[in-house]
Amino acid sequence: MINSAPRAYAIDARACIRCAACATVAPDNFLVKAGPARVRRNPTTAAEALGCEAARALCPTQVITFTEGTAGAELPAGPLPTELYSPVMEVAEAVRWKVEDLPWASFDPVKATPGLRAVVREMAYSEQTTFSATQKFMEAFGADTDFSQWISVWFYEETRHPHVLLKWLALAGEIPGKDFVTEGRASQPFMKSQTGTLVTNIISEMVAAHAYLQMVGGAPEPLITKLVERLSADEARHAASFFTFARRIIGKAAQPDRERLEALKVLHFWFSASKSVSHPVNASMDRLKALLPAVGAPPFVAPYDRLAKIIGLLTQLPIETAADIGPQMTAQTQRIHAPAP
């Protein structure tokens, strides 16, 4: 469980990229309109406190800080929201960027090196899987009107990612073949567990957000740095949206401990043997790692401890680092299979 003593939060506005992950998981506590995110008010319930801590962990630039509460009782539990589509959609509407407003005139062809073009091409290819993933989401979550409405927002925003990356490649004089889009749409089957599916996407979106900023965010070509900042912001907010829906599934489950275990299984396999988790992001990361030396980027390292903390907050289990996952899986398994008193 998280510390639900009162905390005061703050945001370093200078480094905020307006992803609105904070306002997605804690809409009563954070606000993003014009300009950077800001604190609306500090949490007054334990449910809000969990949302604020999730916001801090999900923030791609890690600009949310807090001070520990030193006085006062533990916060009351507080209810979880029952309707999610409207608040999640409205946050997305407030920060959605326009393709035409991106600084296309800043493109510098001299700095669009062959190595950088290879990295961008791989990113554009991996982003194509949104089409088939949306079909699978509609099949697996069709009865959930709230989630299926939101996934249409996710689909629209995600389809813009390969569009702007391919536009950058065209400016660099590179136009992929006619099969580029159709081949990129191939995806993997979803797992049977809805919680497991959502957790897989929390992790993959966070890895993508981190990768965009680390792999290309420091590139010398000025346009691509702006593009990937926008893409990274979208991925972080999408991770926060998947977190919000997964949190509701666990909260409403007849056997929440089983749902928590499903979440931990995904986290465990992603960390210890990612090939056991069939997701396009895994395959893309493997291919990208071989391309990084050509653009002078450091070796890619996923934010393992942050990911562990995020799933710890989702499951409300004491997970702070990757090292905590194994013991918690064991404890959760024993709890589920313990004989009834």
- pLDDT score for 74: 75
* pLDDT band with cut points at 50, 70 and 90 for residue 71: very low
Domains located in the chain, CATH noted: 7-68 (3.30.70.20), 91-300 (1.10.620.20)
The answer to whether 326 and 268 are in contact (CB under 8 A) is: yes
276 pLDDT above the threshold of 60: no
225 pLDDT above the threshold of 60: yes
Q: What is the mean pLDDT of residues 72-96?
A: 85
291 pLDDT above the threshold of 80: no
Distance CA 96, CA 139 (A): 27
Q: What is the mean pLDDT of residues 150-155?
A: 95
- pLDDT score for 189: 61
Structure tokens at 81: 């929201």
Q: What is the mean pLDDT of residues 83-94?
A: 94
User: Percent of the chain scored above 90 by pLDDT?
Assistant: 58
pTM of the model: 0.91
Considering 123-132, 216-225, 304-313, the range whose residues carry the highest mean pLDDT is 304-313
Whole-Å CA distances, 169 to 3, 160, 215, 223, 254:
47, 14, 17, 11, 49
267 pLDDT above the threshold of 80: yes
- pLDDT score for 275: 45
| Nearest Cα to Cα of residue 123 among 302, 288, 269 | 288
